[in-house]
Amino acid sequence: MGISPVLWQFLVKWLNASALFPSEASTIAPYMDALYFFLLSITLIGVLLVATLLVVFSVRYRKAVHPVATQIEGSTLLEATWTIIPLGLFLICFVWGALLYFRIYNPPVNSMNIYIVGKQWMWKAEHPGGQHEINALHVPTGQPIQLTMISQDVFHSFSIPAFRIKREVIPGRYSTVWFEATTPGQYHLFCTQYCGTNHSAMIGTITALSPADYKKWTEQSTSGMSLAQNGERLFASMGCNACHSGNAAARGPSLAGVYGSTLRLTNGSQVLVNDAYLRDAILNPSQHVTSGYTPIMPTYQGQISEDGLIDLVEYLKNLNSNERVQQTLTTTQSEQAAPPASGVAKP
Amino acid sequence: MDSAIANPQADHDAAEHEHEHVFVPQHRHHFATEEQQREAGSFGMWLFLLTEIMFFGGLFFAYLLYRNWYYDAFVAASNQLSIPLGASNTAILITSGFFMALAVWAAEVRKKALLVVFLIFTTLFGLAFLGIKYVEYHEKWEKHHIPGASFDASEFINPSAYGLKENPLPPDVAQKTQMFFFLYFAMTGMHALHMIIGIGLLVWLLARAQRGDFTQGYVAPIENFGLYWHFVDIVWLYLFPLLYLINRHPLAH
Amino acid sequence: MAHEVEQEQHFHDPSNVTNPEHASHHIVSPAQYALVFAALLTGTALTVVAANIDLGVLNPIIALGIACTKAIIVILFFMHVKYQSHLIKTTVAAGFFMFLVLITMTLSDYISRAWGLW
Amino acid sequence: MSAPSPTILKLPDQSSATMPKRNFINAEHGLLSWLLTGDHKRIAILYLISITVFFFIGGAFAGLIRLELLTPQGDLVSSDTYNKLFTMHGIIMVFLFLVPSVPATIGNFLIPMMIGARDLAFPKINLLSWYLYIAAGTIMIASMALGGVDTGWTFTTPLSTHYLNTHVVTTAVAVFIAGFSSIFTGLNFIVTIHRMRCPGMTWFRMPLFVWAHYAASILMVLGTPVLAITLVLVGLERIFGIGVFDPTKGGDPLLFQHLFWFYSHPAVYIMILPGMAVISEVVSTFARKRVFGYTAVAFSSVAIALFGFFVWEHHMFIMGVSNYSALVFSLLTMLVAVPSAIKIFNWCFTLQQGSITFETPMLYAFGFMGLFTIGGLTGVFLGSLGMDIQLTETYFIVAHFHFVMVGGMLMAFLAGVHFWWPKMTGRMYPESLSKLAAVVTFIGFNLTFMPQFILGYLGMPRRYHAYPPEFQVLNVLSTAGATVLGVGYLLPVLYLAWSLKYGAIAGDNPWQATGLEWQTQSPPLTENFPEIPIMDHEAYDYEWLEHKTQHEVTHVG
- Residue A80, chain D, CB below 8 Å: the answer is no
Contact list in C for residue A106 (CB cut-off 8 A) is 117
Predicted pLDDT at A93: 95
pLDDT (tens digit per residue) in D178-189:
999 999 999 999
Closest B-chain CA to C73: B234
Domain ranges in chain A are 22-224, 227-335
Count how many Cα atoms sit within 13 Å of the Cα of residue B47 in the half-sphere of its side chain: 27
- Domain assignment of residue B78, yes or no: yes
Angle at B206 (CA atoms; ends B202, B207), nearest 5 degrees: 125
Contact list in C for residue A176 (CB cut-off 8 A) is 117-118
Predicted pLDDT at A335: 54
Q: Which of residues 513-552 of D touch C (CB under 8 A)?
A: 532
Inform me whether the pLDDT recorded for C117 exceeds 90: no
ipTM (interface predicted TM): 0.89
Closest D-chain CA to A35: D387
Predicted pLDDT at D557: 39
Q: Which chains touch B (3 or more CB pairs under 8 A)?
A: A, C, D
pLDDT (tens digit per residue) in A180-195:
999 999 999 999 999 9
- The answer to whether the CB atoms of D322 and C116 lie below 8 A apart is yes
- The answer to whether the CB atoms of B170 and A268 lie below 8 A apart is no
**pLDDT band at D274; cut points 50, 70, 90:** very high
Inform me whether the pLDDT recorded for D550 exceeds 70: yes
Please say whether the dihedral angle defined by the alpha carbons of residues D456, D462, D466 and D472, taken in this order, is positive or negative.
Answer: positive
pLDDT (tens digit per residue) in D123-134:
999 999 999 999
| Average pLDDT of the segment spanning D496-509 | 90
Predicted pLDDT at B15: 35
**pLDDT band at A333; cut points 50, 70, 90:** low
Q: Which of residues 84-113 of A touch C (CB under 8 A)?
A: 105-106
Domain that holds residue B116: 33-245
Name residues whose C-beta falls within 8 Å of residue D281's C-beta, 6 or more positions apart in sequence: D207, D208, D209, D416, D419, D513, D515
Inform me whether the pLDDT recorded for D486 exceeds 80: yes
Closest D-chain CA to A164: D390
Question: What is the Cα–Cα distance from C108 to D323, expressed in whole angstroms?
Answer: 10
- Domain assignment of residue D88, yes or no: yes
- Residue C65, chain B, CB below 8 Å: the answer is no
- Residue B55, chain D, CB below 8 Å: the answer is yes
Domain ranges in chain C are 30-78, 85-109
The tally of domains found in chain D comes to 1
Q: CB–CB of B80/B248 below 8 Å? A: no
pLDDT above 90 covers a percentage of chain D that reads 78
| Average pLDDT of the segment spanning A149-153 | 92
Contact list in A for residue B169 (CB cut-off 8 A) is 286
**pLDDT band at D46; cut points 50, 70, 90:** very high
- Residue C118, chain A, CB below 8 Å: the answer is yes
The CA distance from A60 to the nearest CA of chain D, in Å, is 8
Contact list in C for residue B228 (CB cut-off 8 A) is none
Query: How many residues can be counted in chain D?
Result: 557
Which one of A329-333, C88-92, D173-177 scores highest in mean pLDDT?
D173-177
- Domain assignment of residue D394, yes or no: yes
Contact list in C for residue B54 (CB cut-off 8 A) is 95, 98-99, 102
| Average pLDDT of the segment spanning A170-178 | 91
- The answer to whether the CB atoms of B171 and A298 lie below 8 A apart is yes
Predicted pLDDT at D553: 57
| Average pLDDT of the segment spanning B68-83 | 90
Q: CB–CB of A201/D461 below 8 Å? A: no
- Substitution target from C109, C112, C117 for chain D, most D beta carbons within 10 A: C109
| Average pLDDT of the segment spanning D80-87 | 94
More confident residue, B205 or A228: B205
Question: What is the Cα–Cα distance from B107 to B111, expressed in whole angstroms?
Answer: 6
**pLDDT band at A301; cut points 50, 70, 90:** confident
Nearest to B146 by CA among B115, B177, B174: B177
Which CATH number covers residue D132? 1.20.210.10
- Substitution target from B16, B29, B30 for chain D, most D beta carbons within 10 A: B30
- The answer to whether the CB atoms of B173 and A267 lie below 8 A apart is no
Cis previous bond, A123, omega within 30: no
Nearest to D308 by CA among D317, D318, D296, D300: D300
Inform me whether the pLDDT recorded for B4 exceeds 60: no
More confident residue, A347 or A63: A63
Inform me whether the pLDDT recorded for C24 exceeds 70: no
| Average pLDDT of the segment spanning D62-90 | 93
Predicted pLDDT at C116: 55
- Domain assignment of residue D378, yes or no: yes
Predicted pLDDT at B24: 53
Closest A-chain CA to D471: A18
CA Rg, chain A, in Å?
A: 29
Predicted pLDDT at D300: 94
Question: What is the Cα–Cα distance from C46 to C56, expressed in whole angstroms?
Answer: 17
- Residue D205, chain C, CB below 8 Å: the answer is no
> Would you state the torsion angle of the CA atoms of residues C78, C79, C84, C86, taken in this order, to the nearest 10 degrees?
-130
Predicted pLDDT at A261: 85
- Residue C7, chain D, CB below 8 Å: the answer is no
Predicted pLDDT at C35: 94
Predicted pLDDT at D52: 95
Inform me whether the pLDDT recorded for B23 exceeds 50: no
Inform me whether the pLDDT recorded for B73 exceeds 50: yes
Question: What is the Cα–Cα distance from D216 to D304, expressed in whole angstroms?
Answer: 9
As separate numbers, helices (DSSP H) first and strands (DSSP E) second, chain C gives 5, 0
SS3 B109: coil
Predicted pLDDT at B27: 62
pLDDT (tens digit per residue) in A97-142:
999 999 998 889 889 999 999 999 999 999 988 889 999 999 999 9
Predicted pLDDT at D1: 36
Inform me whether the pLDDT recorded for D358 exceeds 50: yes
Predicted pLDDT at D210: 96
More confident residue, A281 or D380: D380
Look over chain D and give the mean of its residue pLDDT values, rounded to a whole number. 91
Inform me whether the pLDDT recorded for B20 exceeds 70: no
The CA distance from D450 to the nearest CA of chain A, in Å, is 12
| Average pLDDT of the segment spanning B87-101 | 95
Contact list in D for residue A171 (CB cut-off 8 A) is 158, 247-248, 253
Contact list in B for residue D251 (CB cut-off 8 A) is 66, 179
Predicted pLDDT at C111: 87
Look over chain A and give the mean of its residue pLDDT values, rounded to a whole number. 87
Predicted pLDDT at D302: 93
3-state helix, strand, coil in chain B (%, to 5): 70, 0, 30
- The answer to whether the CB atoms of D253 and A197 lie below 8 A apart is no
Predicted pLDDT at A296: 81
Contact list in A for residue C118 (CB cut-off 8 A) is 105, 174-176, 276
Question: What is the Cα–Cα distance from A265 to D56, expressed in whole angstroms?
Answer: 60
Inform me whether the pLDDT recorded for B6 exceeds 60: no
> What are the E-state strand segments in chain B?
none
Closest C-chain CA to A274: C117
**Residue B9 CB coordination number (10 Å):** 15
Look over chain B and give the mean of its residue pLDDT values, rounded to a whole number. 85
CATH architecture of A227-335: Orthogonal Bundle (1.10)
Domain that holds residue D465: 38-556
Q: Which of residues 239-298 of D touch B (CB under 8 A)?
A: 240-244, 249-252, 255, 259, 262
Can you say how many angstroms the Cα of residue B118 is from the centroid of all Cα atoms in its chain? 18
Predicted pLDDT at D184: 96
Predicted pLDDT at D2: 39
Can you say how many angstroms the Cα of residue D455 is from the centroid of all Cα atoms in its chain? 27
Closest A-chain CA to B168: A295
Sheet holding A156-160, edge to edge: A136-140, A204-209, A185-191, A156-160, A165-169
Query: How many residues can be counted in chain A?
Result: 347
**For D106, which DSSP code?**
I
What single-letter amino acid sits at D239? I
CA Rg, chain C, in Å?
A: 22
Angle at D384 (CA atoms; ends D380, D389), nearest 5 degrees: 115
**pLDDT band at B25; cut points 50, 70, 90:** low
Inform me whether the pLDDT recorded for B21 exceeds 60: no
Please say whether the dihedral angle defined by the alpha carbons of residues D198, D201, D202 and D204, taken in this order, is positive or negative.
Answer: negative
pLDDT above 70 covers a percentage of chain C that reads 75
Inform me whether the pLDDT recorded for D555 exceeds 70: no
Q: What is the CATH number of domain A22-224?
A: 2.60.40.420
- The answer to whether the CB atoms of D346 and A20 lie below 8 A apart is no
pLDDT (tens digit per residue) in C76-110:
999 988 888 888 999 999 999 999 999 999 998 98
| Average pLDDT of the segment spanning B187-198 | 95
More confident residue, A293 or D90: D90
**pLDDT band at D140; cut points 50, 70, 90:** very high
